Structure 1
């Protein structure tokens, strides 16, 4: 059996535009409109899940997807930094930010480390190897990073070297305990298709 999972990053919103640590904010109208415009470009799926955040649930709705939140696919818990911009935190705590960006096991914000996030997401992904049919998952960009790190057997040190732009798809196919990855298919434009 081959498992297929398509991870879709959320549409834009004020938090993304301001480089703000997750404040559970919504998508903006431009992001929602863009999501609605590409709704028909997604492959059909037997299962739909989202990160629990408002922006992921709103993106899923704009894409015409009906699925429930999956706690193991929640974004990175940034503790006391939540709602603040990277500039604010970097100015107030430059050493803490530097440590956080260079050590996957660090959690100077009092939340979750990148290593812990990657482990949580890896456990969910490995569980999907036993799932029949395609799964569509609208998830936070850091969850996509964690997925790619795990699927390719990379060190968690590579986490910050991956980028997951808004409304892009990362497609995985897996069987026999391993995953193959197709990165960053835009959901709009000439290269967007419904590859299976």
Structure 2
């Protein structure tokens, strides 16, 4: 059973520009414009899904996609840090931020640990072939950058800590093809 998963990271929104934790907010005019300009480069798929966030919904709409929200691909739950700026949290809770960055099992924010997040997203990846009916299925997912990173960590069997070493630019396409336990990566390309 081969699945071709193409993930598209969302267009910029104010929260991404401000380095906010899980700063879900609608796309601004520039983000909508950029996504509309990229729409022609989006590959066709058999199934379209998205993170159930405003920025991913807005990106999917601007790309002209009818993508259903997939709860398993929701963004990383960062608990009480959600919506706050990294600089603000680092200034008030430096030890907590340090633990969060160095211990994949830590969740000082009261939300999901990095290990838990990568496991949740990775479990979706490993089961996508079964849920889509099998071979040759092309899935396009508009997902938060953290979800793209978690997908790569799981697909390649990387140490969870490598999550921090992966950068995902806005409106890029990252491809994974294969099956449970055997995935190949096509690194992100701009749309």
Q: Is TM-score (shorter-chain normalized) higher than 0.5? A: yes
CA displacement at 1:176 relative to structure 2: 6.3
Gaps of 5+ in 2: none
CA contact (8 A) 2:75 2:144 kept: yes
In the alignment, is residue 115 of structure 1 matched against residue 115 of structure 2?
A: yes
d(CA) in 2 for partners of 1:175, 1:77: 27
Spell out structure 1 runs of 4+ moving beyond 4 A: none
Could you tell me which residue of structure 2 aligns to residue 56 of structure 1?
56
TM-score, with normalisation over the residues of structure 2? 0.95
Deviates more, 1:142-151 or 1:23-32: 23-32
User: Do the aligned partners of residues 152 and 128 (structure 1) sit closer, same or farther apart at CA in structure 2, a change above 3 Å counting?
Assistant: same
TM-score (norm 1): 0.93
Q: 2: CA distance between counterparts of 1:129 and 1:181?
A: 16
Per the alignment, residue 125 of structure 1 pairs with 125
Counterparts of 1:142 and 1:10 in 2: how far apart (Å)? Answer: 11
Query: What does the per-residue CA deviation read over 1:99-140, in whole Å, with 9 as the maximum and x for residues that have no partner?
Result: 101111100000001100100001100111333421110001
* Pair 1:24-2:53 in alignment: no
Instruction: Report how many aligned residue pairs link the two structures.
Output: 187
Q: Matched residue of 2:186: which SS? A: strand
CA distance in structure 2 between the aligned counterparts of 1:176 and 1:150, rounded to whole angstroms? 10
Q: Say what the alpha-carbon RMSD is for the aligned residues.
A: 1.0
Shift of 1:24: 2.1
